[in-house]
Every structure is written in structure tokens, then in C-alpha cells.
Structure 1
């Protein structure tokens, strides 16, 4: 496979930088081709302006890759500003997605369709707080909800099959003891070596009957009983038949 890894952390010797270096080595040792964009090392221009709206070199890497990995620390409940700027300049109408033709049953090529359809993507994220802080009842909110704008709104929007994120919690102040480092690396290696077989998040596609047209609201009755929020936009497997 061809893997494009985008790193957003200012310190190359940080936990993020070290994990990104390790990830690239694991993939290369397994025979995959890897390209890395270290945005801070590149001094990536994150601000969109009229003279330099699109970043064509990064677009070429996206076209080249079978898998896109966004590797970043969770800062203030989101990605670092330089990575958001990368999205602003690399994603563009006609490239990362295609608006396409509007019909009564088809409202543009996005959310499961688009120019990245058939490719895979995932987030690798470090989080300072403990996993309990980001659980369903945690004070910071569920990590899946916090990553929803990225997984669904940035990766799924242009058509990527989005893999569950690899999240490393309890990383403050940015280093971990050797035994924990070994465990993180072992878990990361397992995820990296199954990029082609891991089941993607089952987001609902926009143009395949689950949403009203043109309002794009989920049709009644498709969610699970009592289900609300972002979760209603993810398909659930039907319950197993336990009848004798």
C-alpha cells in the first residue's frame, strides 16, 4: 500500500514525533511505501489567501496514497491550527470532493462519495487526559464525539473509508515511561499492519436513501431506540437472532 502520513507537532522529539517516526518505520518494514509531511518542519503555510489558495504538492500526495493518516495531539478539543490550515489549503472543491450534479435523489458527491472514494483514512491522536475523562460520562465528552468533525466532516466528506482512530490517552506532560512506550508501540503496530483489513466506521452515505432530499435529515425510524446525537449517523448491525 501507499501511505501518506501528515504530522502536526512542533517538536520532532516529542511523543507525537517519535510515534510518527515509529509508524513510518513499521509500514516501510512491512513493504509499504510511505510519504510523510511534517508540517512544522516544512514550515507549512497554513493561512489561505488570494495569492496561494491551494497546496498542489500535498494534493499530489493525497492522490498517490491508498491511505491517509493524520497524526496530531488533541489541542483544545481539536487539531492544531497548522493541520486545520493544511485541510483548508489542500481540500478544495474539484479535488478532495466533487460537487457534481443535483437531482431529486442525488445531492452532490460527498459523505461516502467523492474523489477519495476507495481510499482509507484514520486519525492517530495523543490526548493529555485520562481515558475516563473522554468516556461517555467523562467531563471532557466522548472522544468519538470530539473527533466527529474530523472523522466525518473532513475524512468521510470526500469519500474516504474512515477507520476507527488510534488514540493514546494520559500523555501529559508529553512523555511516557519505557514500559508504556513499548505497549503503545505494540498496539500501534497492530493497527498499522491491519490498515487494509480493519472495518471502517459505518457512516451512512448521503445519497443512498437514508436521508431526505433536499433537506438531508436522517429519515425517521433508522436510529436505534433512544439514540441521539452523532451516533444516529452511523449504521448499526441488526441484533443477532437468539430465537431457539
Structure 2
């Protein structure tokens, strides 16, 4: 349950006045996996597709809700074109879901930046040296392959 004082709105006992959230919330150490179906089937779920980019569509749920309260959020399981899958496509989707659920403990989470990890200033805005020249939702992800990202 997402109740104030349990899942959010909890202050850091070691830093009075600082709220535990965005990776450091009360549910830190637990994992979340979004499983969803969508009607789109491919390019229509991309950055220029009519439905929009799937990562951006799921950002409010994965980052703004689950990561906010501390969950390590795993890459989602998405069944595209779910309203018209064939029996073979259904079997493939079911197999993927089973495999992903069984791999929850070993799957790398989405690398969201933590609020209090040093990337954000006191106004909760990314520092100038972090993801320079970039904007949009993607800047809230750490790029592990780029040393200049931090």
C-alpha cells in the first residue's frame, strides 16, 4: 500500500528534513516489475510513433511511483498487440513472462539516479556537469558506459 508515512513522506532519521525518496524510500531493497499489455505493435510505440515512446509512457509509473518509494525497478515486460496475438505469440509472451519472473532476483534494475546521490542540487535539478547538453526524461538515468555522465 502506498500510504503516507509508510511508502512515502518518510524523513531520513540521519538527516532531519530530508525525505527518503527516489531510490531511498521506505521500500528500498525491494524490486518491482511492471507487466503490461499494449495495443501497439512496434514503431507506433517509438519516439515518433502515434502512441509515443514506451519508456516515456511508463516513466511516471516506474520512476514517479515505484522508484519514488524506493523500489529497484526492473525493465518492464510488455506484450505488444495483446488484443490480437496468435496462439504462438501468446505462448512466446507467456514464456518470456515466466522467465522474467524467475529472474527477478538477478535482473539489473533500470539505472535511475537517486535523489540524494549527488547528481541533483538543492533545488532537485541535475547539476550542470551531469548529462551535459541533454534534456528530457532520459537524463534521469545513469549511463554506466560514460564516465562523464556523473
Instruction: Please confirm whether the aligned pair reaches a TM-score higher than 0.5, indicating the same fold.
Output: yes
User: Structure 1: which 5+ residue stretches go unaligned?
Assistant: 1-89
- Normalising by structure 1, we get a TM-score of 0.56
Query: Is 1:168 aligned to residue 75 of structure 2?
Result: no
Aligned match for 1:230, one of 110, 117, 137: 137
Greater fraction strand: 1
> Does 1 or 2 have the higher relative contact order (CA < 8 Å, sep 6+)?
2
Counterpart of 1:212 in structure 2 is 121
Deviations 1:82-104 (A, max 9, x none): xxxxxxxx312111124315998
Q: Taking structure 1 as reference, are residues 221 and 133 closer, same or farther at Cα in structure 2, changes over 3 Å only?
A: same
- Normalising by structure 2, we get a TM-score of 0.88
**Inter-partner Cα distance in structure 2 for 1:207 and 1:105:** 13
User: Structure 2: which 5+ residue stretches go unaligned?
Assistant: none
* Partner SS for 2:49: coil
**What is the count of residue pairs matched by the alignment?**
147
Aligned match for 1:177, one of 68, 73, 86: 86
**Inter-partner Cα distance in structure 2 for 1:162 and 1:239:** 21
* Partner SS for 1:183: helix
Counterpart of 1:203 in structure 2 is 112
**Inter-partner Cα distance in structure 2 for 1:131 and 1:226:** 29
Query: Is 1:191 aligned to residue 127 of structure 2?
Result: no
